[in-house]
Structure 1
Amino acid sequence: MTAPLQIVALLFPNVTQLDLTGPAQVFARFPDAQVHFVWKDQNPVPTDSGFSIVPTSTFQEAPQADVLFVPGGAGAFELFEDDAALSFIAEQAAGARLITSVCTGSFTLAAAGLLGGKRATSHWASLHMLEDFGAEPVRERVVRDGRIITGAGVTSGIDFALTLAVELYDESVAREIQLYIEYDPAPPFDAGSPSRPEADQQAVKERIASVTEHRSPMVARAVQRLR
């Protein structure tokens, strides 16, 4: 009898909840898979959306991941100085079949020493700073480089998870899940990415500048720690 697929999803304070819950909704439909939401303890963990999520496992209790998944959010950068979290990621990654992230979760993978020389994506406002870790920033919805699969910002987590379904199972499974969750986006505006025609380019520039100013010192310290 084949053992269930083990998906270990990192849960941490100030996670962007849709980075986590969007993929999790898809993971929940994976055949013969178990999803573990993991943090240091099992107390409710606050998200960026005003509600908390209760972990299902701790670092010590979590199984070895077949798929390691790290979502993003402001909290992903706060993990740069968290030795326990970074060690957990690195240890799990060593035995994982796939190492994955969505949004700025790729920065946490980078801070754990996993993206050097790798192609990866992230949220558009932070993407350029991946280069500081020796990664190759790629402005695509989902990017694969060997065992590492990264998704871009927030809602791309659903695309990422469906891509993962194809990788782990086949296209028919991914299509069935897409249909079941009625993933048929039809946004009211064509402004969901800096490349879209209705995106406010001044707002894009201001957001990138603000994010860079706030996060680049954290990135610099994390790079120094790796050295």
Structure 2
Amino acid sequence: MSDEKEIAVILFDGFELLYVFGPVELLQFVPHYHLEFYAPSPGKVSSSQGIEVIAPRSLADLESADLLLVPGGKGTRALVNDQDFIGRLHLLGKNSATVVSVCTGAALLAQAGLLSGYRATTNKRAYHWVTGFGPDVSWQPSARWVQDRSR
């Protein structure tokens, strides 16, 4: 059995390249962790810039992660209303040790109930849209980032 921990990166159509590959660039150097890409269905996933990335695994293949990374991007606008995705994200977040988001990924976490009772923030250009989800989230309007317990 490997002692490595898993960083699960969630991809979806319309994700923002920077919000995935910026963190991945740094996270690849964390000792004893490995990265895996997951999507609603395995295969090609298109970024908001039209770049296709291969996600070898489905979200259905993932039970939990040591670190679950949910990026933002234009695709979050449709996903907040996708009950299958939000339900799966809720289960993954509950079972994962640490859950993080970038930008409008916070809307997905809030809609999935994963930020309830937590402090959180998001990109200021999308702040009013994102904060419309998760009424019991303590949204921090001036913070650039927030860490609250496992979030």
1:137 maps to amino acid? W
CA distance in 1, matches of 2:102, 2:148: 14
Give how far 1:2 is off. 6.2
The residue aligned with 2:138 is 136
Q: Which has the higher contact order (CA 8 A, sep 6+)?
A: 2
Query: 5+ unaligned residues in a row in structure 2: which ranges?
Result: none
- Whether the aligned pair in 2 keeps the contact of 1:6 and 1:63 (CA below 8 Å) is no
RMSD: 1.7
Offset from partner CA, 1:81-111 (integer Å, 9 cap, x none): 2222112211111121111101110000011
2:110 maps to amino acid? A
The residue aligned with 1:107 is 107
Offset from partner CA, 1:112-161 (integer Å, 9 cap, x none): 1112232111111122344432222222222011211xxxxxxxxxxxxx
Query: 5+ unaligned residues in a row in structure 1: which ranges?
Result: 149-227
SS in 2 for 1:126: helix
Which protein has the larger Cα radius of gyration, Structure 1 or Structure 2? 1
Task: Provide closer, same or farther for how the CA distance between residues 87 and 94 of structure 1 changes in structure 2, counting only shifts above 3 A.
Answer: same
CA distance in 1, matches of 2:109, 2:63: 19
Task: Provide closer, same or farther for how the CA distance between residues 2 and 51 of structure 1 changes in structure 2, counting only shifts above 3 A.
Answer: closer
- Whether the aligned pair in 1 keeps the contact of 2:7 and 2:34 (CA below 8 Å) is yes
CA distance in 1, matches of 2:129, 2:14: 20
Q: How many residues align?
A: 148
* Structure showing the higher strand proportion among its residues: 2
CA distance in 1, matches of 2:116, 2:94: 15
Is 1:71 paired with 2:71?
Answer: yes
**TM-score scaled by structure 2?**
0.89
Give how far 1:40 is off. 2.2
Is 1:120 paired with 2:129?
Answer: no
Deviates further, 106-115 or 1-10? 1-10
The residue aligned with 1:8 is 8
Within a 5 Å distance, the mapping from 1:88-99 to structure 2 comes to 88-99=88-99
Deviates further, 58-67 or 97-106? 58-67
**TM-score scaled by structure 1?**
0.61
- Identity within the alignment, %: 27
CA distance in 1, matches of 2:131, 2:39: 28
2:86 maps to amino acid? L
Task: Provide closer, same or farther for how the CA distance between residues 24 and 31 of structure 1 changes in structure 2, counting only shifts above 3 A.
Answer: same
* Structure showing the higher helix proportion among its residues: 1
Is 1:56 paired with 2:59?
Answer: no
